[in-house]
Chain A
Amino acid sequence: MVTIDLAQTTVRKVNEILRGFGATHQNAEIVNPDAKHYIGVGLVTPTKVIIRGSAGYYCGGLCDGPHFKVDKNVSWGVGDNLLAGSIEVGGNAGAIAGVGMRGGDIVVRGNVGSRAGQVMKKGTLCCAGNANFMAGYMIYGGRVIILGNSGERVGEDMMGGEIYVGGKVESLGNDAMLVEPSSTDLDSVMEFLDRYDIAFQGSFKKIVCAGKTLRYGTAEPRLRKIPFTTFSSGGAEDYWNAKVQEDIRVKAHIGRYRIRGYGTSRHLPHFQDIAFKADLTGAGMDPDVVSRVNLRTFLGEKHGGRSLDLSMPVMIAPMSYGALSKQMKLALGIASRMSGISENSGEGGMLSEERAEARQMIAQCLAGRLGWNVHDVKRADCIEIYISQGAKPGLGGQLMAEKLTREIAAVRGIPAGMDLRSPSRHPDILGGDDLIMKVEELREATGWRVPISIKLGAGRIRDDIKIALKDGIDFVELDGMQGGTGAAGSEVAEFVGIPTIAGLQEAIDGLAEIDCQGQLPIVLMGGVKDGVDAAKAIALGATAVACGSSMLIAAGCIACMQCSVGSCVIGAATQDPEHTARFDVEKRALQVHQYLEAIRWQLASIAHAHGYSDIRQLSRNDLVALTPEAAALTRLPYDESLAGKVRGRI
């Protein structure tokens, strides 16, 4: 046992030491902890750590295996995402104790704050005192034992797991119900209490999920497609068009809002409404144009992490294993490696096979912490904190039961077969000040090694980006409302958020307003389809772009927009083996790769035709707006004469 005096050093240093001790099976005692944050974050060895005093935020967060004993109190998020091991707290714990835990034991001998065990999946969280409101909030599995009183709305929106209350059940949460505990249940609980020397004389009440809201009711009728030929835009005849009527009739049938895949379907001001001033008819005449223009892009070195090294300013947008089949994810991983860019896990955990294929992999951290774990964090090349996305900003992810197979559920650590609606808000990021704490926890967990980015759906981006800048984010992934998804309420996909070009303009304006132009790289996504769009985005001020829907189309997606149904004809957005059998990983990977290479060729050709040797030489001065809307949204000069004509043929 080695003693470390936290008064003499920093938490960052202590965590490095603990990791080193872990490797040599040494235990440690920490004195003078002074309620500092992040003590012991990211330990993956069965080290024993005794903290002589109180710890701050995220004590023992993102760990697998260690045993912590804290003499006094801990602040919020103790044992965040614990995979195995134990944490014993002698005093009280703050809010969200055991948030997102996936195994191991957390024992708090005093009281716990609100939302104890939020989104936990496995393991046991035990509170010997009283719990505050919403204990067991949205738990997917695992066991919460409260010896004292439950607090208000215990088990709110729980989807699995079990909660034992020894004291008073103050009120039950939505979709929670009381059942009689079995003797096996009680034996197991008592065995746990004995193990931690906790005496209890009373009787337990057991709370489980009532299961009334796990599934949507009637399924939507299966339709092959929703043609867009008309929108409610061209006069009275078009106003009540077939699509409007279809929506009304389907809702009358199913009694709930409609769900579909893809992003906004109607017309929005977009990149096609912007043109390059230069005559590009001769673009790409140089057979070796790709080697004439520097496209290589580094992202994320701002806070000392090892940046992503992209062969061109293009990334693959986050799309989950779950929304997509394993085969499609593999194809994306392979293509990203072949083209020297990055792939992204999306929500729901990192697929090991894909991690192996992709050279650079971004791990996405979402509110439900589905599949989230310290090992994926450590093997990621970048961490992306998802705040919201373009297709359904302000809401969480959705995965219909048809696609939440046992395998997917196992990766995510949740029960199979429900219509999964992920939480809309992180348990521990309620606003800008919590965000900064979360960023630091992740930096500790990764040893300050990788960049940390944030994904934002375009909305109040002018202000949001200022928060991101101040919270120590390395880069922002900005998703306009054209951004696609595997499942979203169709009205939300259609009408919430602002167009991609408007989002970018707002972000750039926001940074300019606080004199921080160019200080926070922006990766723009949301309907970026080719090198032309990418070049325009970069000229407007984006550092890079990311493509999602177009990657799937490159792999054969026919844009039927029925991704949520789970019977994708090409086997990309499905988990059904009968359907994935139609997906040829190698062939599709090559197609995605060729698509990316075409983007590279286009980027290089456009820059070269302007006489530039670096893609970053493109600027707003090279662009004009072709429509009054595009001009108003981007403040580019409006040149009507170019509209409807191919540049250079005028």
Chain B
Amino acid sequence: MDELNVRAADPMERCDEYPDSDFIPAPCQQGCPLGTDIPSYVGLIAEEKLEAAFEVISESNPFPATCGRVCAKPCETQCRRGESDGPVSIRSLKRFVTEQVGRQHRENPFPVTRKKTVGIVGGGPTGLTAARDLAEAGYEVHLYEKSGRLGGMMAAGIPPFRLPERFVEADIERILEDCPGIMVRLNCALGDGVSLDELKEKHDAVLLAPGLWRDRKLGVPGEKEGIEGLLGIGFLTGLNQGESIRLEGEVVVVGGGNVAMDAARAALRAGAATVELFCLEALDQMPAWKHEIEEALQEGVRINPSWGPKEIFSENGKLTGIEFVRCTSVFDAQGRFNPEYDHKSVLRKDARAVLVCIGLELENEELQRAGLLERGRVKADFESMRTADPLVFAAGDSAFGPSAIVYAIHHGHRAAHYIEAHLEGVKNPQPYRVRYSSRQVSIIQDPRWETLAREEPRRTLSADAPLSDECELTYERDVAVRQAIRCLRCDAETGTADYSRRTREHIQSMARTDPADVERQRSILQARLKPRKNPFPTGRPANLDDIVFLPAALTRLVIDPYREACSTSTPVGRSLTLRQPFLFTGFDDAPAPVREALALALESSGCAYLGFRPLGKAARAPWLQLLGAPDEVPSPEASGLVFMMGERFEPISPSRLTPDRLLGLCSTGPLLAEVIPYALEKGFDLLVLDGTKGMGRAGSELESEPDFSIMHEAITILRELNREEDIDLAYFGGLRSGTDVAKVLARNCRAAVFGAAVSIAMGGVIAGRAVEFPEGGAVEVDERRLWAENWIKATAQETAIIARCTGKTNVHNLEPEDMRSITLTGAEAMGISLASGCAPREYF
């Protein structure tokens, strides 16, 4: 099987399939032919949620324990951290999880719910995966296995020091327990125990996945059946079946793939004095994985690249040696296998055994007779997994050539997809697509993540060890967690909508695409041409965030001193001067220690409180008394009185106890037309514009989107009366930051009123429409006071810095002309021009 066959289809194209238009699988996930949600399980390991991690792994992979040990790990090749200090050790992490929780993990069994049945030939990874998928879909599946056990080459061909049999068994056991609808017939080969016709008769579909089992021949002189010491795959399968095969003396392995590496290492363990491996390919062309080659070298295997076998020598039916000829090139200019030799360069090796590991073939007369074979493979179409026979499907190595387990599993999923469509009578099924999903696991906050290095699992590379001793160990828990923390979490959304995860992946795809790969360039371009959903749909309420400030540059001078110096001193009405343009409200029902902390913070920060009652008896910050009902009595302690308008406008007869006492009104939008002329007439100092549905009520800021248009309405009315300067405005509702304050000030207000924001700063937690203080008395008053002071200081800095950006050294010099709106709604509600409106300017 060509691995390109299962190269992930272009992820650019696939985004359509997901409801979240920003979804794009993480690179590792794209690398995995099963689409395993790797970032999620790695994230879960970082949080030590191993059970959940196992569920993620086993969802797409029926053989987690097996793959945890011997997977080709195409995911790690794609890992973005691989571009800097080594990929996340995904396979080893998977191994860790399966070791910890794999054995005991069980799903609820899937019952048989359908009438139709499927016959599958071959109990290897392809057959078992297809069986599991079909059984999960409710079909009864009959699995016909030639040998006496399931697992195919996983069980038979991989030596125990790399994959102890019990792990394959555990994976298979789980599949069979989860899927009682799978009926297994062992020792039942196609053409021996059962015929193809029988299968077709008994079942509604047949899947051929018998695998490859017969050694390919070297095709050199001297190669004969029955020479003692001339071995092939039987050496490995024999060992795995517990046969005691002993080797001695010099052993030669022919072949450059992973099986050859396994055979060489197994040969050392089986008693060989020396093992020399010869292969056609140059060292960097060998098909074996790099780490397999390295491990073989470390164990003492000697590798001789670029040699092709020439002749086998034997005496009296016993192997004595082998001759090689120098191979100068393996592939021709078209990339076809067409080795060239330098016949002058010949090497003769004496050997007691030669292990031929140059590949396997399919041998099945039954299929030959049925006309389903072509050039030693079951002829099948990868896009439908069908053979020439409409009832017969084929998958795995026997159809598409030798490959790694994870691709065999992919084949199983793929075949099950088309078989299911066939069983349901779907004529033109949707093409099989690897299923990607993301559980959006949160990211653990561990500051070490940037510098933690990749740690390889401990290896015990010793050819002297017994065959059953694993050559690699599982991570310790702390190592596994460290390794999981290293994950860059390419699956997680970024902090910026402008460079969202999807955009970032697109840019990185561009950076990883060969400029000459026109097909890929085209698909990236199409993905990039796609417009986004309008982030400002019609009907969306106006938002303070739609307002931006115009910075100083050339026409408006940039402010010189570079520190944050900018005046925030705020005179309000006749008698009050605040150090910051902030008033605070909404703490009348807060716990006493919270009120006390706020009182202290307001005093030290030079701000005032606006409430029905003072923050405390000893509170020294100015208190503006809110008066809601006509019968409420003005307090002599209050620095000012603010009368709240109810739902209707009602005249108030205010009286000042002292001539410098400040008088104010608080009003919502609908009443402004009446309230403003009245307030001006009566000489009120302050008008609090309430952008919520009623400032007096607790949590009014949390119950609805604030109405910012009230500021624009108020100033419009004042302007019509030509009395803009005659009353100070303050705004309440939905203010979160110093920038919000800057907007309020620029929109002609004198001060901003905070409620919810400072409660959050003081440890409050939003619970429905209220802010609660769960720590209660557990937090010292002084600590909470510090939070409030810090927040006020930071927020004032924000206001000041915004003013400075616009070229102002006093926050009260901010004006509407310093602002622009980026949306039409914002422009209308706030009375602010669009960022690039069409009104032309005069020549200057």
Contact = CB atoms under 8 A, between A and B. Distances in A.
A627 B271 CA distance: 76
A647 B525 CA distance: 12
Interface string B741-781: 00000000000000011001110001000000000000000
Interface in B539-575: 540-541, 543-545, 547-563, 565
A223 B445 contact: yes
A485 to B, nearest CB: 12
Given A395-B804, A425-B557, A530-B507, A583 B529 contact: no
B548 to A, nearest CB: 5
Nearest to A455: B553
B289 interface: no
B100 interface: no
Interface stretch (A13-21, A314-322, A407-415, A590-598): A590-598
A494 B450 contact: no
A388 B551 contact: yes
Interface in A495-530: 495-499, 501-503, 505-506, 509-510, 513-514, 527, 529-530
B511 A595 contact: yes
A627 B488 contact: no
Interface stretch (B401-409, B498-506, B584-592, B662-670): B498-506
Contact of A559 (B495, B518, B534, B797): B495
A307 B797 CA distance: 43
Interface in B508-544: 508, 510-515, 518, 521-522, 524-526, 528-536, 538, 540-541, 543-544
A463 B550 CA distance: 12
Interface in A223-261: 223-229, 231-236, 239-240, 244-245, 247-249, 251-258, 260
A436 B78 CA distance: 53
Nearest to A515: B843
Contact of A643 (B524, B531, B547): B531
A550 interface: yes
Given A509-B840, A595-B510, A491 B802 contact: yes
B337 interface: no
A599 interface: yes
Contacts of A530: 506-507, 510, 528
- Please classify the interface of chain B as helix (H, G, I), strand (E, B), loop, or mixed, using the class held by over half of its residues: loop
A4 interface: no
A502 B522 CA distance: 29
Contact of B562 (A240, A423, A509, A644): A423
Which has the most chain A C-beta neighbours within 10 Å: B493, B532, B540? Answer: B532
A456 B553 contact: yes
Given A233-B545, A252-B788, 13 more contacts: A231-B497, A234-B540, A256-B793, A284-B521, A396-B562, A491-B798, A491-B801, A495-B802, A502-B834, A529-B528, A556-B83, A567-B450, A594-B512
B85 A582 contact: yes
Interface stretch (A25-33, A188-196, A371-379, A464-472): A464-472
B761 A594 contact: no
A492 B498 contact: no
A358 to B, nearest CB: 19
A228 B500 contact: yes
B582 interface: no
Contact of A553 (B508, B513, B841): B508
B736 to A, nearest CB: 5
B513 to A, nearest CB: 6
22 contacts: A213-B563, A224-B489, A245-B760, A255-B790, A257-B738, A264-B498, A284-B518, A394-B558, A424-B804, A468-B554, A497-B549, A502-B820, A529-B506, A530-B510, A553-B499, A554-B510, A578-B451, A584-B84, A594-B513, A598-B524, A601-B525, A629-B536
A553 B498 contact: no
B836 interface: yes
A94 to B, nearest CB: 17
A473 to B, nearest CB: 11
Contacts, number: 413
Interface in A453-480: 456-457, 459-464, 466-468
A594 B515 contact: yes
A514 B843 contact: yes
Contacts of B160: none
Contacts of A456: 553-554
B367 interface: no
Which has the most chain B C-beta neighbours within 10 Å: A228, A267, A392, A466? Answer: A267
A259 to B, nearest CB: 11
Interface residues of A, number: 155
B563 A232 contact: no
Contacts of A252: 761-762, 787-788, 790-791, 794
B545 A232 contact: yes
Interface string B168-201: 0000000000000000000000000000000000
A285 B523 CA distance: 11
Nearest to A489: B801
B494 A561 contact: yes
B734 interface: yes
Contacts of B538: 628
Taking residues whose C-beta sits less than 8 angstroms from the other chain, chain B's interface range is 35 or more
B558 A460 contact: no
Counting from the closest, the 3 A-B pairs by CB-CB distance are A393-B551, A394-B805, A255-B790
Interface in B483-499: 488-490, 492-499
Interface stretch (B229-237, B294-302, B413-421, B702-710): B702-710
A417 B843 CA distance: 48
Contacts of B494: 225, 227-228, 558-561
Interface of B: 80, 83-85, 443, 445, 447, 449-451, 488-490, 492-500, 503-504, 506-508, 510-515, 518, 521-522, 524-526, 528-536, 538, 540-541, 543-545, 547-563, 565, 702-706, 734, 736-739, 756-757, 760-762, 766, 787-791, 793-795, 797-798, 801-802, 804-807, 820, 822-824, 834-838, 840-841, 843-844
A503 B547 CA distance: 15
Contact of A459 (B504, B553, B790): B553
B12 to A, nearest CB: 12
A311 interface: no
A466 B837 CA distance: 18
Given A247-B737, A265-B495, A463-B844, A424 B511 contact: no
Nearest to B737: A491
B594 to A, nearest CB: 13
Contact of A499 (B756, B806, B822, B837): B822
A240 B553 contact: no
Contacts of A157: 561-563
Contact of B805 (A138, A272, A496, A571): A496
A233 B543 contact: yes
Interface stretch (A122-130, A275-283, A342-350, A443-451): A275-283
A227 B561 contact: no
Given A496-B802, A594-B515, A635-B838, A265 B554 contact: no
B511 A591 contact: yes
B492 A227 contact: yes
A223 B447 CA distance: 8
A505 B835 CA distance: 10
B450 A579 contact: yes
A351 interface: no
Contacts of A254: 790, 794
Contact of B531 (A594, A629, A633, A644): A644
Contacts of B518: 284, 287
B794 A255 contact: yes
B787 A253 contact: yes
A270 B213 CA distance: 60
A495 to B, nearest CB: 5
A272 B840 CA distance: 26
B752 to A, nearest CB: 14
Which has the most chain A C-beta neighbours within 10 Å: B535, B540, B797? Answer: B535
A142 to B, nearest CB: 18
Contacts of A240: 702, 736, 756, 760, 766
